[in-house]
Structure 1
Amino acid sequence: MINLSKMSDLSSPEGFALDLYAAVLEGRSLADAVAPLARALETSTHAVHLMQYEAGELRESRCDGGGLAADVTAEYEGHWIHHDPWALAASRAGEGVVNLGRVVPMEAYRKAAIWRDWKAKRDGAFHCLSALMQGPDGTVGRIAFHRSVRAQAFGTAEEALLAPLFPHLRRALVAEARLSAGGWQTARAMRAGFAALPQGVVLMDRQRRIVLTNPAIEAMARRGDGLALAPEGGLATRDPEARQALARAVGSAVAAISGKVKMMPDAASVALPRPDHAAPYLVQALPLKRVEAPGMPEGFCGVMLMVSDDTIRPRPRAPLLRQAFGLTPAEASLAAALAAGRTPAQHAATRKIALETVHAQLAGVRRKTGCRRLTDLMALLGRFAA
């Protein structure tokens, strides 16, 4: 029920709107600026969310809470938002005032992990009334007002109070999103940088929950031949000894973040066996202490797992080999093919040339590299990366 005695906190819609715009322009907390509205709605907490979606997938989120502890907003922003039925509903609901209790049935919400495993233990937000904004660049803005499970659900009276203020709330969210645009761009740049790495990358917060992965580690996990992605701990392996070593490595990195250890022990490097007896995956656990890099959450502390797969090491390319050994273009092409595992006959068939021609080119490669035997040549080519 609306608290009429606190309606005076809003003064006039125009004055309330001006304070919203001033908060954005001055860099003040938008969550603080909507506090008078939260008091009139008799909420337990409220929050301002900006969410950035790419191809329908939530990539980045920012949360500014009113009445919420900093560790709670950080935990929500870093993990639970990805498992929140309200956030999913907000991304699909369009713009306007939305009573999420009508969109996500209460019984379904009680069964969701975010309520069962997190909120219920703290008597967290159970009812939610939101003002939603959808941006053309995949940005979703949400000013959410919450009530606890013991309070009355939001109804038509609260929706009616919010409706005339929605245009102002929307403009404030749009302005906030535009000011954050540079942050979204740097975050995308960071992901692109990780995506370019041949090594697998798993970035975790200090609670050991995955924050980011790159395509290389996702491809390794899909192969299912020695490692898998785990929501907590970053990586999983079926080998008991390797599993314990990996847990020790991550634990050492977390301890290093807190200053409990000064140097990383040898356990920070772990080999994960593969069932086909191929070379194991090599994992390094690296502590990240208050990283202030573009695209990273402010003051981020966490652990990065770097995973190498020696079976897919990059092979040398023809231009590099030509420059290194003074080869002709044809000789360099043959050398690159040999380094990639092809035989002289296969190279001849691919290039549609006679096998005798390939043997003549191979003789030139051996002479210029100083390798009399083919095994020596292969060992030499293996030292070069693309």
Structure 2
Amino acid sequence: MERAINNAAEGTAEELLEFIGDIYEASYHPEHWKVVITELCRRLNAKSGGIHVEDYHQKTRYMMACYGLPKVAELSYRLGMAKYDPIYQIQSLRPIGRAGLVCRHDEARLAHPLYYRLIAKPNDLGYVAAISFFNDDHWHVGIGVHRSFKAEPFGKRELQLLDQLAPHFQRALLIQRQLHLQESRAQTLQYALSKVMLGTVIIDRDNRIRYCNDLATLLLDTHPALVQTPQGFKAHYPEDDLKLQEMLLRLRETPGLDPWPQDQAIGLRHPERSHPLTVIGVPCHEAPHSQFGPAEPGLVVLYLSDPGASFNASEEQLIQTFGLTRKEAGIAIALTNGLDLKEISNQKGVSLATVRTQLKGIFHKLGVNKQQDIIRILLGSGIGNSPH
């Protein structure tokens, strides 16, 4: 029996290299961690196991992947039971990258009777071997593997295999963490730009659009003061276009000039509009490596705003976009079009107290606490904005 276990733990050199390849593949395909923990349990002749993560910054605790564990065990871990698990605490005190047999059922029965009765025995966790890969201010990540009460304890060779694999797990987890942070930063910026209360466009040195949020797309499609041509943006009036091109040139000046060009603002006119289109230009020194493309010199952010735009959204649009009720949507539209609460009460034929109650519902769903913020969000959302 022991020999069979040792052979499973060792495998051939080629098989071990293939398994290490699986570990690195999981760094950029997180769903592959399931394959890794399953194969690791097979190699260690373990009945079950899991890769646990406790992220101190995000204040989350979860199983990155597990094998052979009931769903209730995974759920209880996510809900914080691991904090009170003595085995988890024992593992957290061990040296990083050093595997050990952290629990035997015969010892746990006496030393940790509650754990033994509520966790170990019902889940047949007779022996637990564990290793921590990280345990610092950012996170605690490790692996725990289990054998049945009826099995033999994990031996020296199984623990040595975990030690041998530790550097590869550490590198793969760091790669995954960096990829996740980079993706999160890009997604956060993308989401913020998509929701910013101005039309937002990022253009490169060749005047190609790298990013354009929904409101900017609407303004470019409907406001004739600024049009997009194969050569770049062009204003309707020649004198306005000269100001626009000069502004872009200043914003793209070589870094190091004194003074470094700051943001610029101009108004672009059109005879059919009573209000000029406001364009604010900002030099973009850095850009995330995302759909905007890699960081490079010459990137400029243009913020577009049409003071003369009217708000003609339907209640259905606000219901679908913001999750408002029909009555809340009606109040939000009335507010945005300049009515006060008393006027809305008279218009809707309901009491002022009812309007205020529904207003609180709008505050909650939009995450604001002022009427002005409701107006700002709706006007900036791009919904219902139409040209005169």
Fold agreement, TM-score > 0.5: no
Structure with the larger RCO, 1 or 2 (CA within 8 Å, 6+ apart) = 2
Pairwise TM-score range, normalised by the shorter structure: 0.3 to 0.5
Pick the structure with greater CA Rg.
2
Question: Normalising by the residue count of structure 1, what TM-score does the alignment of the two structures yield?
Answer: 0.41
